[in-house]
Amino acid sequence: MNILEKIKTNYSASMNEMTVAAYLEECRKDPKMYAKPAERILDAIGEPEMLDTRQDPKLSRIFSNKKIKIYPAFRDFYGMESTIEQIVSYFRHSAQGLEEKKQILYLMGPVGGGKSSLAEKLKHLMQQNPIYVLKADDQISPVFESPLGLFADYAEELEEEYAIPARYIPGCMSPWASKRLREFDGDINRFKVVRLFPSIQEQIAISKTEPGDENNQDISTLVGKVDIRKLADYQQSDPDAYSYTGGLCLANQGLLEFVEMFKAPIKVLNPLLTATQEKNYKGTEPIGAIPFDGIILAHSNESEWAKFLNDKKNEAFLDRIYKVQVPYCLRVSEEIKIYEKLIRESSLKEAPCAPKTIELLAEFSVMSRLKEPENSSIYSKMRVYNGETLRETDPNAKSIQEYRDDAGINEGMQGISTRFAFKILSKVFNFDSEEIAANPVHLLYVLEQEVIKMMLPPETESKYLHLIKSVLASKYAEFISDEIQKAYIESYSSYGQNIFEKYVVYADHWMQNNDYRDPDSGEIFDRSILNEELEKIEKPAGIANPKDFRSEVTNFFLRFKANHGGQSPRWDSYEKIKNVIEKKIFTNTEDLLPVVSFNVKSNEEDEKKHRDFTRRMRDRGYTDKQIRILVDWFMRVRKTMA
């Protein structure tokens, strides 16, 4: 079936019709026939996958060895595990008939934090399961009411005869249905039941309301109003003269999204009080109560919430709100996934992006959102939040729980938004007039310029510029230095392996207090000479406790060989010794400068080395233009690295 046939088939199959009696018989067999919106959206979300974080050292540090739930429906919402769990809990408790069924789901967070994306996702999930709507003659109920509303006064009898729990019976039928029932002389069999799928496009059980001007917006945006075109045929109080176009009318049995709810005048919000608590609301005309059995989803930023919270007149609303904070992502690895997703969904997905570009932007974004820690660096805090352990590299780093306790519950509610960061990335990709590509040097420049243009408070601007110029630039200088040096040394990997294996042999003999005979030269190294040779490798890396370090590396080497049939581990498989060996290899950078620079070479040998160097840089993911830019930048900043 091709896509055209599929659309036609789905469209024609979307509406099934049955009698009320047949519907009640189906209800007896299948509870999904009368499922509440919370139950239907839970079914669409599906069962979570249980993730035991104890199996992953990084995740175990972030989540304190807990088992966490991962919902496949929200797999693209990175770093939002806690927020999503709170949202799912709201639906779960509402489906159980608890207090949440009478409350507004309110997402509060900073701009560009993902509130609207979550709302869109929930609306799409609401479309997956059908609803059953009352129909009279050729007209479907304008408020998409459940057929069970006809039995509002007979809940106990209905439960006894058809095993439909009384809590699923609406408290009232709509004025439209009440009028039809009078016209049918109480013959319910003249009604039909239609199976519909909620639709964002057609506003079937899903609607969206936005705040308007305080002078001209009234409750009709939620409850509808009289249709003046029909007053020639009906009285003003006739249900058929009413236009059921308000958000609550359209979202019955589904979901109403109220964007920036607290920007709306309080008079506009009043119908939500009875809609949530009593499951019905009053129209603008005397037509009787209109049923509402749906989910109200609101969202706004923190300043709007604080303003609403501090007004004592709003206490009734505050008691009816289930608040879920939606902070910015505070884990670099997850922030990177957000940018990669945004790039994949754009025409930039094929554009070259130099290594470390996206990571640097993610680090800047996350650090801008963190509360500055006491007696510790913000860079270390960022890495700890990302699940890294810094015991060896930063003795002042605290545990993730200590950082969180110090920061409080509002961390992540301020800082650079993901939306702003992606605009930065767009400018970086289009910075060069010759190629659409991104590299960290252009990123650092664009970031600095955009921060200045934002005209932030002096303290905030100073913090951001410090992060760019001092933290990110210095970290990237170290990174690109390593990249250039690795590309410079052709036999880099085998060279590192030789140093590693020699180090282990020397360290083992030194610890055993045995002399070592070099198999090639026959030269004998006593313990003092072995110590000198070991220190040549250790000192560039600043190893503070060589005895323990030698023991640890040797034990790792021997255990690995024992567990892998005598095969030696790779020199870069153990982070600690890898860093030490790299420092040893790259202690002297002066030799490589004439080769890596793009100046005219003095001899053919240097020219060949330069060509080999650029080839290996291309293999590492850089374009020719990027290699030149990054090498030039490295040459400028290398003196400050010394």
Domain map (residue ranges) of the chain: 34-129+197-321, 489-641
Greater pLDDT, 3 or 465: 465
The secondary structure element, H or E, covering residue 547 is helix 546-563
The secondary structure element, H or E, covering residue 478 is helix 473-488
pLDDT tens digits, one per residue of 373-405: 988 899 999 999 999 988 777 888 899 999 999
pLDDT tens digits, one per residue of 292-313: 999 999 998 888 888 888 888 8
Amino acid of residue 418: T
561 confidence band (pLDDT: 50, 70, 90): confident
The secondary structure element, H or E, covering residue 158 is helix 155-162
Q: Quick one: how far is CA 133 from the chain centroid?
A: 36
Greater pLDDT, 599 or 103: 103
Q: How many residues does the chain have?
A: 642
Q: Minimal CA–CA distance to 526: which of 514, 508, 511, 512?
A: 514
Q: Quick one: how far is CA 623 from the chain centroid?
A: 31
Indicate if the pLDDT at residue 13 is higher than 70.
no
For residue 588, what pLDDT is reported? Answer: 56
* CA–CA dist 204, 326 (Å, integer): 28
pLDDT tens digits, one per residue of 231-285: 888 888 899 999 999 999 999 999 999 988 888 888 888 898 889 989 999 988 8
Percentage of residues in the chain having pLDDT higher than 90: 53
* CA–CA dist 357, 422 (Å, integer): 12
Under DSSP, the state recorded for 74 is G
φ and ψ at 625, to 5 degrees?
A: -65, -40
* CA torsion through residues 449, 450, 456, 460, sign: negative
Average pLDDT score over the chain: 88
For residue 237, what pLDDT is reported? Answer: 86
Would you say 174 and 237 are in contact if contact means Cβ atoms under 8 Å apart? no
* CA–CA dist 442, 425 (Å, integer): 10
pLDDT tens digits, one per residue of 580-633: 877 777 665 566 677 788 887 777 877 888 888 889 899 989 999 999 999 999
Q: What is the dihedral of CA 166, 170, 171, 172, to 10 degrees?
A: -140
107 confidence band (pLDDT: 50, 70, 90): very high
491 confidence band (pLDDT: 50, 70, 90): low
For residue 143, what pLDDT is reported? Answer: 94
Cα angle 153, 157, 158 (rounded to 5 degrees) comes to: 85
SS3 of 229, please? helix
* CA–CA dist 275, 297 (Å, integer): 13
Under DSSP, the state recorded for 472 is I
User: Helix/strand/coil (H, E, C) string of 346-402?
Assistant: CHHHHCCECCCHHHHHHHHHHHHHCCCCCCCCHHHHHHHHCCCCCCCCCCCCCCHHH
For residue 306, what pLDDT is reported? Answer: 86
Written as six digits, the tokens of 424 are 């930065």
Q: How much is the average pLDDT of 100-106?
A: 93
φ and ψ at 457, to 5 degrees?
A: -55, 145
Written as six digits, the tokens of 569 are 């581990």
DSSP string, 441-467: HHHHHHHHHHHHHTT--HHHHHHHHHI
* CA–CA dist 485, 641 (Å, integer): 14
Indicate if the pLDDT at residue 12 is higher than 60.
no
For residue 587, what pLDDT is reported? Answer: 63
Greater pLDDT, 606 or 358: 358
Would you say 95 and 107 are in contact if contact means Cβ atoms under 8 Å apart? no
Would you say 357 and 439 are in contact if contact means Cβ atoms under 8 Å apart? yes
φ and ψ at 76, to 5 degrees?
A: -85, 0
For residue 6, what pLDDT is reported? Answer: 64
* CA–CA dist 323, 53 (Å, integer): 27
Amino acid of residue 465: L
Indicate if the pLDDT at residue 69 is higher than 60.
yes
Indicate yes or no: pTM above 0.85. Answer: no
pLDDT tens digits, one per residue of 177-208: 999 999 999 899 999 999 999 999 999 999 99
1 confidence band (pLDDT: 50, 70, 90): low
Task: Give the architecture-level CATH label for domain 34-129+197-321.
Answer: 3-Layer(aba) Sandwich (3.40)
Greater pLDDT, 443 or 603: 443
Indicate if the pLDDT at residue 123 is higher than 90.
yes
Q: How much is the average pLDDT of 56-77?
A: 91
The secondary structure element, H or E, covering residue 325 is strand 321-325
For residue 121, what pLDDT is reported? Answer: 95
Greater pLDDT, 101 or 488: 101
Would you say 181 and 154 are in contact if contact means Cβ atoms under 8 Å apart? no
442 confidence band (pLDDT: 50, 70, 90): very high
